[in-house]
């Protein structure tokens, strides 16, 4: 009850009644609840969303006890179980890196080397347009494996579906300033997201949808080369029946092979396209000569 009164008063900590430690009002909450507490109780009512997010970000960055029950909730991705059942209790993470304890030349990188929730990245993206798009689209930011660990779930690196759809949403929603100010970086990120998701679809046997994904690559040369390589791996090859019937015969000389190829094989009409090839040409607008070039 005391924590509730402190929260209503806008106080985030109060001294413990029996020892010298402080009790955090935000302890044992998830980060969205903690951020909501900043919106409703802690920050000034005239503050905008960006200012409130900045206060919350400074709060958890400066927290010296993130791996205890009194730590300020950090914006970790939700666990898979939490996504399925949002009513599950919040578990404390035990292995957040602490800035003062991180050693080595890449100390700052090691301190930041844990995934943040995608929702947190989107809020940061609304606050500042130069926020890292690569971290926003990181597939490890959508969920994590263990409720007690902040370590990234490497299994997520096999699934880029959500990253690709989120990227397309950001582009269609008007985030074209990436093209203006950070074109090279954005082009590199978008190419990787497209290639990863296209590979995932191709492995699932949906190569025609892989073409659809690759057509969203920004660089024209890269886009054309990627689509042509993909088509070359999956087009159907139709051999003349004469070649099939004589493929196992042993020819006496190279001259007889040439004679066979020039006289015994009659030219066949161009074979019709398969259903996936027709989809790629008719629905996706891929030039039909790309298909025929791959069949040669």
**Prediction pTM value:** 0.78
Summarize pLDDT for 34-67 with one digit per residue, the tens.
999 999 998 988 999 999 999 999 988 887 777 6
**Rounded CA gap, 17 and 55, in Å?**
27
Domain extent listing, the chain: 1-74
Q: Please compute Rg for the chain using Cα positions.
A: 29
Residue 27 region by backbone torsions, left for phi larger than 0, else alpha for psi between -120 and 50, else beta: beta
Ranges in the chain, pLDDT < 50:
102, 105-109, 240, 242-244, 247, 250-255, 258, 260-268
Summarize pLDDT for 59-97 with one digit per residue, the tens.
888 877 776 667 788 898 888 888 888 888 777 677 676
Cα 220 from chain centroid (whole Å): 22
């Amino acid at each position: 009850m005391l924590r509730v009164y402190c929260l209503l008063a806008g106080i985030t900590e109060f001294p413990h009644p029996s020892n010298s430690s402080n009790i955090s009002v935000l302890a044992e909450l998830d980060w969205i609840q903690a951020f909501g507490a900043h919106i409703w109780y802690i920050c000034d009512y005239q503050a905008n969303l960006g200012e409130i997010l900045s206060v919350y970000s400074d709060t958890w960055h400066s927290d010296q006890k993130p791996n205890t029950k009194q730590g300020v909730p950090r914006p970790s991705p939700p666990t898979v179980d939490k996504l399925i059942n949002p009513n599950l209790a919040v578990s404390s993470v035990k292995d957040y890196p602490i800035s003062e304890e991180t050693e080595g030349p890449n100390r700052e990188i090691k301190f930041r080397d844990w995934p943040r929730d995608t929702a947190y990245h989107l809020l940061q993206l609304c606050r500042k347009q130069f926020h890292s798009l690569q971290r926003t689209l990181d597939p490890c930011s959508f969920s994590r494996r263990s409720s007690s660990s902040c370590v990234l779930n490497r299994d997520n690196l096999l699934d880029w579906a959500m990253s690709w759809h989120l990227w397309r949403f950001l582009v269609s929603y008007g985030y074209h300033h990436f093209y203006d100010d950070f074109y090279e970086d954005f082009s590199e990120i978008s190419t990787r997201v497209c290639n990863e998701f296209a590979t995932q679809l191709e492995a699932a046997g949906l190569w025609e949808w892989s073409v659809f994904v690759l057509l969203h690559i920004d660089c024209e040369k890269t886009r054309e080369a990627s689509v042509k390589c993909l088509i070359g791996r999956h087009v159907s090859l139709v051999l003349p029946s004469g070649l099939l019937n004589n493929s196992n015969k042993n020819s006496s000389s190279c001259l007889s092979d040439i004679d066979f190829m020039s006289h015994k094989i009659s030219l066949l009409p161009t074979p019709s396209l398969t259903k996936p090839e027709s989809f790629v040409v008719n629905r996706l607008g891929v030039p039909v000569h790309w298909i025929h070039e791959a069949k040669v």
